[in-house]
């Protein structure tokens, strides 16, 4: 009797992004046993995309070679804001969804228990489970991507706040006189340390990517690495503001480890050097001493592994 005959217990983690849907079958140790990746196709609308998610879940199951019954639950990560308890996506700008009851829809479609959480919290949960934050009790995770997301893990669980909208570190104010955000706030961390922020600051500094290169943060990162002073200045400001925002988060939350993920974090010392300088100037020694800073380890699997961990935690005895 082969593996397929044994009743292996797994869950399925889903990462819903503006560009791709990824689904993975994950066992109790965090090992990925089967995976599916497909385009999100946002123009299909909420119902169309949710049907694609269900298809992706079934395809991941098939890729694992395991029986459908072996999957005990499904965890879904989505951009927020959302309400995990109600299984409700309140609003996602990149999909243009409003008040979508994704958990109800998928439970009916898949006949499995489905749980929902925002993607930044799940990145943090995944990293604290089997990644850079393994063994740590207070884990603060920053995802520096198109936007800036944050996740806080306490004792292996996501810190939820009163109604599940905590850890929005991208929206803390780092300069009250800074540029205006679409929803009325201004000078928030996301406007400096995200890809969008890097592109904005570079463009304002009169920079353009070299001919043939796309208008994305990575193009300006390469310019900075090649010594372009204006591009270096952009990363200097981004790193400084990251230091200002982290000073605030560290004084409020006293994490034991800070983990960075996302494309913009790939700029490494371009960003981290001015950040460290700012932290050293601003933070109490009592908060900074002993605090670890690490890069995320799970790479592309971070989202689905975090979603799978949430699914495991939703089951009795996990």
In this chain, which of 172, 202, 231, 271 binds a second copy, going by CB under 8 A?
172
- Using CB under 8 A, which of 20, 27, 67, 166 touches a second copy? 166
Binding segment (CB under 8 A) for a second copy, from list 107-115, 171-179, 225-233, 266-274: 171-179
Number of Cβ atoms within 10 Å of the Cβ of 96:
12
> Binder to a second copy among 61, 92, 128, 247 (CB under 8 A)?
247
Residue 167 near a second copy by CB under 8 A: yes
From the CB of 284, what's the least distance to a second copy, in Å? Answer: 6
Find the shortest distance in angstroms from Cβ 200 to a second copy: 18
Residues 121 and 152: their CA atoms lie apart, in Å, by 7
Minimum CB separation from a second copy for residue 143, in Å? 15
- In angstroms, give the least distance from the CB of 298 to a second copy: 22
- 281 touches a second copy by CB under 8 A: yes
d(C-alpha 22, C-alpha 43), whole Å: 18
Using CB under 8 A, pick the residue from 185, 222, 294, 295 that binds a second copy. Answer: 185
Report in angstroms how near the CB of residue 152 gets to a second copy at its nearest: 8
Strand order in the sheet with 138-144: 157-158, 148-154, 138-144, 257-261, 292-295
Rule CB under 8 A: is residue 215 a binding residue for a second copy? Answer: no
How far apart are alpha carbons 144 and 127 in whole angstroms?
15
Give, in order, the Cα–Cα distances in Å from 51 to each of 48, 132, 191, 205, 307. 5, 34, 34, 44, 18
> Does 162 sit near a second copy (CB under 8 A)?
yes
Kindly tell me which of 35 and 171 has the beta carbon lying closer to a second copy.
Answer: 171
200 binds a second copy (CB under 8 A): no
Q: Which is nearer to a second copy, 236 or 247 (CB)?
A: 247
Q: Is 148 in the site for a second copy (CB under 8 A)?
A: no
Looking only at the bridges linking them, the beta strands covering 71-78 and 10-16 are: parallel
Closest CA to 201 of 234, 242, 239, 236: 234
Which residues are 14's β-sheet partners? 23, 76
CB 309 within 8 A of CB 30: yes
| Sole binder of a second copy in the list 8, 44, 59, 90 (CB under 8 A) | 90
Q: Which of residues 29-88 bind a second copy (CB under 8 A)?
A: 81
Which DSSP string do the residues of 159-220 spell out, in sequence order?
Answer: --TTTS----GGGSBS-TTSPBPTTS-BSBTHHHHSHHHHHHHHHHTT--PPTT--SSHHHH
Stretch of 104-112, 116-124, 198-206, 249-257 contacting a second copy, by CB under 8 A: 249-257
Q: Which of 85, 137, 157, 229 binds a second copy (CB under 8 A)?
A: 137
Cis amide leading into 92 (omega within 30): no
Query: If we measure between CA atoms, which residue out of 8, 127, 143, 12 comes closest to residue 74?
Result: 12
SS3 261: strand
Smallest separation (angstroms) from a second copy to the CB of 227: 27
Residue 216 as a binder of a second copy (CB under 8 A): the answer is no
**CA nearest to 151, candidates 161, 162, 139:** 139
Q: In terms of CB distance, is 68 or 183 closer to a second copy?
A: 183
203 versus 281: smaller Cβ distance to a second copy:
281
Q: What backbone torsions phi and psi does residue 301 show, to the nearest 5 degrees?
A: -85, -5
Which positions lie near a second copy, rule CB under 8 A? 81, 90-91, 137-138, 150, 160-169, 171-177, 183-186, 240-241, 244-245, 247-249, 251-256, 281-284, 286-287, 290-291
């Amino acid at each position: 009797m082969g593996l397929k005959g044994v009743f292996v217990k797994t869950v399925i983690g889903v990462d819903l992004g503006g560009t791709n849907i990824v689904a993975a079958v994950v066992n109790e140790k965090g090992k990925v046993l089967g995976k599916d990746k497909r385009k999100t196709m946002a123009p299909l609308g909420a119902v169309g995309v949710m049907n694609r998610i269900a298809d992706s879940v079934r395809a991941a199951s098939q890729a694992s070679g395991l029986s459908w019954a072996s999957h005990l639950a499904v965890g879904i990560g989505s951009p927020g804001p959302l309400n995990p308890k109600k299984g409700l996506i309140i609003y996602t700008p990149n999909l243009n969804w409003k008040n979508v009851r994704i958990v109800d829809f998928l439970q009916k479609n898949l006949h499995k228990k489905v749980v929902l959480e925002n993607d930044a919290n799940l990145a943090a949960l995944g990293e604290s489970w089997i990644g850079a934050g393994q063994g740590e009790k207070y884990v603060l995770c920053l995802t520096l991507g198109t936007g800036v997301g944050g996740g806080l893990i306490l004792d292996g669980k996501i810190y939820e706040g009163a109604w599940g909208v905590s850890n929005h570190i991208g929206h803390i104010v780092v300069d009250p006189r800074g540029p205006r955000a679409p929803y009325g706030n201004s000078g928030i961390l996301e406007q400096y340390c995200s890809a969008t922020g890097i592109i904005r600051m570079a463009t304002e500094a009169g920079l353009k990517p070299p001919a043939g290169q796309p208008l994305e943060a990575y193009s300006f990162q390469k310019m900075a690495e090649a010594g372009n002073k204006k591009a270096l200045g952009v990363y200097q400001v981004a790193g400084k503001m990251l230091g200002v925002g982290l000073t605030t988060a560290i004084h409020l939350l006293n994490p034991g480890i800070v983990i960075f993920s996302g494309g913009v974090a790939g700029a490494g010392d371009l960003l981290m050097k001015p950040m460290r300088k700012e932290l050293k100037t601003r933070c109490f020694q009592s908060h900074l001493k002993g605090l670890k800073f690490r890069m995320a380890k799970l790479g592309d699997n971070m989202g689905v592994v975090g979603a799978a961990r949430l699914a495991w935690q939703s089951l009795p005895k996990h």
